[in-house]
Amino acid sequence: MGRWRGALTFLVVLVGAVAFAAGGWYVWLRDPEAAARPLPVPGGDQEVVWLYPSTAGDAWSLFVIGLKRCEMPLNGAPSGVTVDDSAAFPEQTTAVPELVITRAGHDGQLRVRWYKISSEAPIGAWVEALSRRRPAPLAVVGGSTSDRAQELASALDRQVSWNGPRPLFLITTATVDSVLPDAADGFARASEQRNLADVYPGRTFRFCFTNGQMVRAVSDFVRQDPTLALPAAPKRPTVFPLEWADDPYSGDLYNQFREYLFDVLGGAAAPPRIVKDAAFTIPFSVGTFSRPNPGESAAVKAILSELPADTTERSILVLPTGSSAPARRVLLALAERVPQAGKRLVAVTGDGMSVNTFYRDTEWAWPARSIPIPLVLFTHSNPVGWDAPGDTSPPAGYRLQPKTSTEEVFLDHTLARALIAAAFAGQPARLLGSADEVAANLRSRADKFFDDKGNRRSLGGEHVVVVRPTLRYGDTTPGAVRPDATIDVYRREDDGRTWTRVGSVPVR
């Protein structure tokens, strides 16, 4: 009996020791410093960090395309750029994806590496680990969302000690104008809010447009497009601004649309009719495919009660949502209840809905035939800029074909072109080793791409997309085959007033 008791005791102790050891290994594996391990940088080379979540495989693929296309001629002349993508998609998920950029006649290689954000390796851990390595990165590319951009900017700002100049922060798609202080706990006075570029001041460069710029571009286009004509004076244009309370993107865009439309549609002297109703603040955005949720149903009912009686008078419906589903449900409900809705309403939004929703995925994401209300949205670059048939300039395997939107690729390409031009600018011809010098080159661009804070300038380069349903009211040739809608894309020219149509795609 004693022998069995001793064996049992030994077994319990052994199991406990194994569990303790396993726990130690687990803690080590969970240690952010252990998980966030930047690679060494060979002598003479420099690094740019692409700091994105480990789930951002699709975004990385688009970034690779945008960067690889920097090999294409620039303004008719060879770019001299070579992008080695052999390690861009490693077979092992734990390996670090990497692109290596060289430029003809220049010494040094620029290595772009995807360091993956995860629960084991959060943003702060990566920033701290990168600060200890020599050399420091030239730049960190990130900010796919406004929350993540603020977190990364704050982490970079707090980390003052680096082995070299502090890296630049290149923002991709974070559009919020101003952010709360880190310790605001969800509330701060307007005077306490800061422009996102001021969180990491002097070293932040934003390549996308902001919410305010989007609102101004979309609103200006609607006012100028004769096919979306609003009522002329003395009538007051009517605006129905909705917001979804569980979507922070929605709240910011909602406020910006209300303020700007008030100013440009008459201002205090002849104010537009901006309808206020408690039902327009929709509690949540979760719902089915086509049936509006209770909050959305209440908002639709309130719109019906306030819609101008004159059926020739068009009103603006503000749909500031970060996804297409809430907008789809509201527009379907209005289309069912408003006679000739396509002539009485125009919907506006920001960049929360991808053009792919209406183009590539329309069959299951956007029933254009059932939504006769035109929708105006914003894109940061041309979403229909496919390569022409027979064009041999794109690298093999990197042609842009009309299967999907090109917006993300062109935005990434814009960032990559700017970075390469600013980094391979040493004299004699070499890759710069100082983020300070790269920053100076970005600020001194001939096209004045950035303002004093580092935000992208307005009045040129904004793109607006109009989803124009084919209206069949009083159709005199009902048997004719026509598309369900047309996607028209317009680019604002540098004068800030002219809109040029750069593409038109039928939706069938």
H helices within 31-122, ranges in order? 32-35, 57-68
Host domain of residue 155: 35-181+190-209+411-443
Q: Are 370 and 336 in contact (CB under 8 A)?
A: no
318 and 421 inside one domain: no
> What's residue 32's pLDDT?
62
Q: How many domains does the structure of the chain reveal?
A: 2
Q: Are residues 200 and 235 in the same domain?
A: no
Assigned domain for 109 exists = yes
CB-based burial, 259-277: b 16+ in 10 Å, e otherwise: ebbeeebeeeeeebbbbeb
Q: How confident is the model at residue 93 (pLDDT cuts 50, 70, 90)?
A: confident
Model confidence pLDDT, tens digit, residues 188-219: 565 678 999 999 999 999 999 999 999 999 99
Mean pLDDT (the chain) is: 92
Model pLDDT, residue 28 = 44
Q: Is the pLDDT of residue 111 over 90?
A: yes
**What whole-number distance in Å separates Cα of residue 457 and Cα of residue 448?**
8
Q: Which of 14-23, 80-89, 94-103, 236-245 has the lowest mean pLDDT?
A: 14-23
In a domain, 387, yes or no: no
CATH number for 155:
3.40.50
Residue 202 — left, alpha, or beta (φ > 0 → left; ψ -120 to 50 → alpha)?
Answer: left
135-186 confidence digits (pLDDT tens): 999 999 999 999 999 999 999 999 999 999 999 999 999 999 999 887 555 5
Which pTM was predicted? 0.91
Q: Do residues 152 and 132 both lie within one domain?
A: yes
Residue 110 lies in a domain: yes
Q: 53 lies in a domain?
A: yes
Residues 364 and 309 in one domain: yes
User: Are residues 346 and 216 part of one domain?
Assistant: yes
Note whether residue 106 is domain-resident.
yes
Bridge partner list, 465: 377, 489
What angle is formed at CA 125 by the lines to CA 122 and CA 128, rounded to 5 degrees?
150
Do 247 and 105 belong to one domain? no
Residues 238 and 307 occupy one common structural domain:
yes
* 420 & 466 share domain: no
CATH (domain of 492): 3.40.50.2300
Residues 273 and 371 in one domain: yes
